């Protein structure tokens, strides 16, 4: 649950607010929200400054109003390395990151040459230049035609845990996905398990994504391929 794509992010489904649309925070995270919102436009100090561990990636501050909750370092690195491992199996690898700027940042940190595109609602990420595309999940196919059927690896993190949001993100995935050999990874709440299977034919892995803000919701990583020994394998295998 990395970033919103809604023009009114806290209000969906004919104006009604649903509990499953809004992430549930732990008491510790709620206490920290004041600081997050106050510092939403402050960038994290660069790793080279020596004020943060070298392995960390500099990220913009989370904006809770856009449903932004960054992955922790272990999650971001694990998923990024999985994506890069998948790219090695492809002749012409290309990666689309839908509403998951943390993953994009770690991908480029580990392999600056990886061909990756970030589709994101928050214009602060336009600093990524041509690898940034504005994306509003309410308009799932309102994207440049050059992106259509262009990506063999897609990672998506829908901003809300609603059926409507996942359905629309699924439309975006169909728009972007290249025919032939391709891989899909979805990071979302466990409550979306049945919908992920129905809409995208995905199965959950044993690996459990974690966020820096310690969300109360249980999150899962779903894939359309058998990861084997990686990511803990498929659940139930």
DSSP string, 156-193: E--SS-SHHHHHHHHHHHHHHBPSSS-EEEEEEEGGGH
148 belongs to a structural domain: yes
Share the mean pLDDT of the chain: 81
Q: Has residue 81 got a pLDDT over 70?
A: yes
211 belongs to a structural domain: yes
Q: Has residue 4 got a pLDDT over 60?
A: no
Q: Which residue has the higher pLDDT, 44 or 39?
A: 39
- Determine the average pLDDT of the residues in 57-79: 70
8 Å CB contact between 47 and 53? yes
Residue 180 CB neighbours (<10 A): 9
Q: Which residue has the higher pLDDT, 21 or 201?
A: 201
**Separate counts of helices (H) and strands (E) for the chain:** 5, 7
Q: Over the stretch 218-229, which tens digit does the pLDDT of each residue have?
A: 899 999 999 999
Q: Over the stretch 87-133, which tens digit does the pLDDT of each residue have?
A: 999 999 999 999 999 999 999 999 999 999 999 998 988 999 999 99
126 belongs to a structural domain: yes
41 belongs to a structural domain: yes
Q: Identify which of 18-22, 69-73, 103-107 has the greatest average pLDDT.
A: 103-107
d(CA 4, CA 66): 5
Q: Has residue 165 got a pLDDT over 60?
A: yes
Strand residues in 29-158 grouped as ranges (E): 95-98, 116-120, 132-134, 153-156
* Domain that includes residue 220, residue range: 19-227
At 71, list the tokens: 């992955």
98 belongs to a structural domain: yes
Predicted local distance difference test score (pLDDT) of residue 49: 35
8 Å CB contact between 172 and 98? yes
1 belongs to a structural domain: no
- Determine the average pLDDT of the residues in 146-152: 98
d(CA 225, CA 203): 8
Predicted local distance difference test score (pLDDT) of residue 206: 97
Residue 57 CB neighbours (<10 A): 21
Model confidence, pTM: 0.76
> What φ, ψ does residue 60 adopt, rounded to 5°?
-70, 155
> Which 3 state secondary structure label does DSSP give 16?
strand
Which residues in 123-150 are b (16+ Cβ under 10 Å) and which e?
A: ebbeebeeebbebbbeebeebeeebeeb
Helical spans, DSSP H, in 112-162:
none
CATH of the domain at 216: 3.40.50.150
234 belongs to a structural domain: no
5 belongs to a structural domain: no
Q: Whose structure tokens read 């770690």?
A: 106
Predicted local distance difference test score (pLDDT) of residue 42: 42
| Residue 12 binned pLDDT confidence (cut-offs 50, 70, 90) | very low
- Split into its structural domains, the chain has a count of 1
Predicted local distance difference test score (pLDDT) of residue 70: 76
């Amino acid at each position: 649950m990395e970033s919103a794509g809604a023009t009114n992010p806290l209000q969906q489904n004919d104006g009604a607010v649903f509990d499953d649309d809004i992430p549930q925070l732990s008491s510790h995270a709620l206490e920290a929200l004041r600081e997050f919102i106050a510092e939403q436009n402050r960038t994290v100090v660069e790793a080279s400054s020596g004020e943060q561990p070298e392995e960390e990636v500099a990220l913009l501050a989370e904006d809770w109003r856009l449903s932004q909750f960054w992955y922790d370092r272990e999650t971001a690195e694990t998923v990024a390395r999985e994506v890069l491992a998948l790219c090695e199996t492809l002749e012409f690898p290309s990666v689309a990151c839908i509403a998951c700027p943390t993953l994009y940042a770690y991908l480029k940190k580990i392999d600056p040459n990886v061909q990756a595109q970030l589709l994101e609602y928050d214009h602060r990420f336009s600093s990524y230049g041509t690898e940034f595309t504005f994306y509003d999940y309410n308009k799932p196919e309102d994207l440049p035609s050059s992106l259509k059927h262009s990506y063999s690896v897609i990672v998506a993190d829908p901003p809300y845990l609603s059926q409507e949001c996942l359905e629309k993100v699924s439309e975006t995935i169909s728009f972007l996905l290249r025919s032939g050999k391709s891989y899909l990874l979805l990071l979302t709440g466990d409550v979306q398990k049945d919908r992920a299977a129905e809409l995208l034919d995905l199965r959950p892995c044993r690996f459990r994504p974690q966020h820096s803000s310690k969300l109360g919701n249980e999150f899962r990583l779903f894939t359309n391929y058998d990861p084997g020994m990686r990511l803990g394998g498929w659940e139930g295998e």
